[in-house]
Structure 1
Amino acid sequence: MASTVDRVHARAPGKINVYFRVGGLADDGYHPVASVYQAVSLYEDVWATPADGFTLSVTGSVELGAVPRDDTNLALRAARLLAREIGIEDGVHLQIHKTVPVAGGMGGGSADAAAALVACDALWAAGLSHAELMALAAQLGADVPFALMGGTAVGTGHGDQLNPALAQGRFDWVLAISDEGLSTPAVYAELDEYRLAAGPRAEPAVAHPGVRPAVLQALRQGDARRLASASHNDLDPAALRLRPPLDDIINLGLDEGALTAFVSGSGPTIAMLAEDERAAIGLQISLSTQGHKALHVHGPVPGARVVAS
C-alpha cells in the first residue's frame, strides 16, 4: 500500500484527571483505577511523512530531555503497530511538536501516540474505523484511547475502559507547570508505601474503585463550583511526598482564587479550576508574576484528529 499524500498533520490533546481513585495493587502488578478524564486545549502536533524506515524528530515549548528518540517512543510504537495491523512495509518519519509537559501527568506521550495513529492511518489511506483505532490505542497504554477519544470520559480498569461522560459548557483551568517531571511508577510505588505507613489514617484502597456521582452531576450541570467540591486525586499524597514544594503551589493557587487545586494524574503538573475564563486569566497572571510557569486552558476539547493543511 503506497502513501497517497506527501504529509499528514494530526493533533491530539493533553488531559486532566478531574477525579482519580486508585485501588490496591492487584496480582497483575497494576492498580485498578476509576478516573474522570477531561481533554484540554493543550496539544501535541504530529506530522507524518513517508520514509524508508521509522524515525522521528522532536521539538516543543517544554523541556524535552526525557523524551525518548528510539523505538521506545510511544508515537513510533503506534506507527509500527498500525503498519503491522494493515500489513504494509512502508516507513514513516514522525515530526512531533510538544506543548504538553513531559512526565507531567497530562498524557503527552499518549497524545503523541494517538496523533501518530490518526496521521499514519490517513497517510497510508488505511481507512480504519474509530473502533479499530481505539483497539490499537488500548495496546499502547492506558491513556492512549482517551487521547484518541477526547471530550470527557470515565475510565475504569487500567483507565482504558472508557465511557463518554456528558459535560455541559466549558471549564477553565490554570496549569502550574514544573520543569522536572515525575515518574508515574515511582508515584504509584510511593502511594503503596504511604498507605502502608499511614494505616487507618490513609484513604482505604478498594478492589473496585468508582467515580462519585457528584462529579458526573457537576459536569452535566456545567457547574465549576460543584466540580471543585467533588474533585479528588488519590495520587496527591504520593506526589507531594516526592515533591513537597508542590504543596506550596497548591496553597498559592487557592489563595489566589482557584476553586480547587490538585495534582493532575501522577503529577507534577498542578491543575487549578477557575470560576470562568476571566477568573482563570487573572489566576494565570497572578501565578506568572510570582515566578511560576502557568498556562490557561479549557475543556472539554475533541480527541486526536487530522488538521487540514
Structure 2
Amino acid sequence: MIVGTQPVTVRAAAKVNLHLGVGAPRDDGFHPLTTVYQAVGLCDDVTAHHDDELSVELGGTDWIDLASVAADEDNLAHRAAVLLGRHHGRDLAARLVVEKAIPVAGGLAGGSADAAAALVALDRLHDLRTSDDDLLRLAAELGSDVPFSLIGGTALGTGRGEIVEPVADVGTWWWVIVPDRDGLSTPEVYRHFDRLFPDADPTPPSAEALLSALRTGQPVSLARSLHNDLQEPAIDLRPDLGRLIDHGESEGALRGLVSGSGPTVVFLCESADHSRDLAGALMRSGSPVVLVANGAVAGAHVVPDHV
C-alpha cells in the first residue's frame, strides 16, 4: 500500500574521528575501538521515491568518483533497504536517489551516511514507525559507523565503533578537508596497523584527554588532543599524506590529521575566517579539491520541502 505520493529526502553528514584508539584484533577479527566521532557539514542526500522495485541511482559533485560506488545490491543504501524490509517482514520497493558530496573511500563514512539516510527515508516513505532502538540495531548490522551517522553531533564510540553515546561538546569547530581521489582500503590500513604494531594492547587508548578538550570549547586545546592510531599505517602506505599534513600545518593549521583510515586529511582551524584562509593557501599550492566544513552538525534527518 502506498502511504503517500511525496518523496522523502534525508540528509546525513560526514564524520571525522577526533580520537581513534585501536586495540589488538579480537578473536572475531575485529579491532576494539575507542573513538570520538564528530559529524561535520559535508553531507549526502538520499531521496526515496515510491516505485515498483528497489533501485539506487547515483549523482554528485564533479569531483566525486561515482564510478567507484556500487549502484546495485552492494550499495550500503540498498543493503539498508533490504535489512529494514526484512525487519518488517516485507519488501520495500523504492527508487533511492543518492546525491553525494562526501568523498568516496575517504575515511569520512560516506557510505555509512547513505545507509543511515536510507533507513530514515524508507521508514518515513512507508510509514513504518521503526523505533529508534531498532534503527540503531539495524544500523550496527550494516557497519560500525552507521549508528553514529544516525545520531550525529559528537559521540563516543566503543566496541567496533558501533556502540555510540553522545558526549558534551560546547564548541563550534572549523575544519578544512582535503580529499584524495585515490582511495585507501580500510581493511588494508588495519592489516598494516597489525604489521606495524604486532604487540598492540588489546585495550585501545582512552579518549579522556580529547573529551576534556571538547568541554573547553577551545580549538587549541582540541588540536593538542587529536589522536588517530591509524594515521601511522596510513602514512606508511601513502607518504604523500604525511607531506600534506606537514604542509597544512606550515600554512597555519592548528593540527592536521588523517581522517579515520584515510586518505582524506583534515585540518583544525581557529575560526571560519582561518579555515577559508587555509583552504585558499592549500588550493594555491596545488590541492585540486579543498573543502571547508564546521562541526558538530545533526545526524540523519528529513529535509523539509526538498526540491
TM-score class, shorter-chain normalisation, is over 0.9
Give the Å deviation of 1:2: 2.8
Cα distance between partner residues in 1 of 2:25 and 2:156: 20
State the match for 2:190 in structure 1.
188
Cα distance between partner residues in 1 of 2:86 and 2:207: 40
State the match for 1:15 in structure 2.
15
Contact 2:36 2:207 in 1 (8 A): no
State the match for 1:77 in structure 2.
79
3-state SS in 1 of match to 2:58 = strand
Cα distance between partner residues in 1 of 2:237 and 2:262: 10
1:31-110 mapped onto 2 (5 Å cutoff): 31-61=31-61, 62-110=64-112
Cα distance between partner residues in 1 of 2:126 and 2:265: 38
Cα distance between partner residues in 1 of 2:148 and 2:270: 25
1:128-167 mapped onto 2 (5 Å cutoff): 128-167=130-169
State the match for 2:296 in structure 1.
300
2:227 corresponds to 1:253 = no
Over aligned residue pairs, what C-alpha RMSD do you find?
A: 1.1
State the match for 2:180 in structure 1.
178
Give the Å deviation of 1:278: 1.2
Relative to structure 1, the CA distance from residue 90 to residue 25 in structure 2 (aligned partners, 3 Å threshold; closer, same or farther) is closer
Give the Å deviation of 1:4: 2.0
State the match for 1:231 in structure 2.
226
3-state SS in 1 of match to 2:290 = strand
Which residue identity is paired with 1:38? Q
Cα distance between partner residues in 2 of 1:130 and 1:277: 34
From 284, 293, 296, give the equivalent of 1:289: 284
Contact 1:51 1:90 in 2 (8 A): no
State the match for 1:270 in structure 2.
265
Give the Å deviation of 1:210: 4.2
Give the Å deviation of 1:214: 1.8
State the match for 1:2 in structure 2.
2
Cα distance between partner residues in 2 of 1:187 and 1:169: 31
Contact 1:50 1:90 in 2 (8 A): no
Cα distance between partner residues in 2 of 1:31 and 1:72: 23
- Structure 1 unaligned blocks of 5 or more: 197-203
Cα distance between partner residues in 1 of 2:136 and 2:258: 27
Cα distance between partner residues in 2 of 1:81 and 1:212: 32
3-state SS in 2 of match to 1:51 = coil
Q: Write out per-residue CA displacement over residues 41-92 of structure 1, whole angstroms, 9 at most, x where no aligned residue.
A: 0001001011222111101121112101110110000011111212233411
Give the Å deviation of 1:155: 0.3
Contact 1:111 1:147 in 2 (8 A): yes
Cα distance between partner residues in 2 of 1:291 and 1:16: 23
State the match for 1:199 in structure 2.
none
Give the Å deviation of 1:3: 3.2
Which residue identity is paired with 2:67? G
Contact 2:57 2:97 in 1 (8 A): yes
1:217-228 mapped onto 2 (5 Å cutoff): 217-228=212-223
Cα distance between partner residues in 2 of 1:145 and 1:281: 31
Contact 1:9 1:48 in 2 (8 A): yes
Cα distance between partner residues in 1 of 2:140 and 2:173: 27
Contact 2:82 2:91 in 1 (8 A): no
Relative to structure 1, the CA distance from residue 24 to residue 87 in structure 2 (aligned partners, 3 Å threshold; closer, same or farther) is same
Identity fraction in percent: 44
Cα distance between partner residues in 1 of 2:119 and 2:5: 16
Which residue identity is paired with 2:245? I
- Structure 2 unaligned blocks of 5 or more: none
Cα distance between partner residues in 1 of 2:67 and 2:230: 25
Contact 1:52 1:90 in 2 (8 A): no
Q: Write out per-residue CA displacement over residues 114-141 of structure 1, whole angstroms, 9 at most, x where no aligned residue.
A: 0000100000011122222111111110
State the match for 1:201 in structure 2.
none
3-state SS in 2 of match to 1:29 = coil
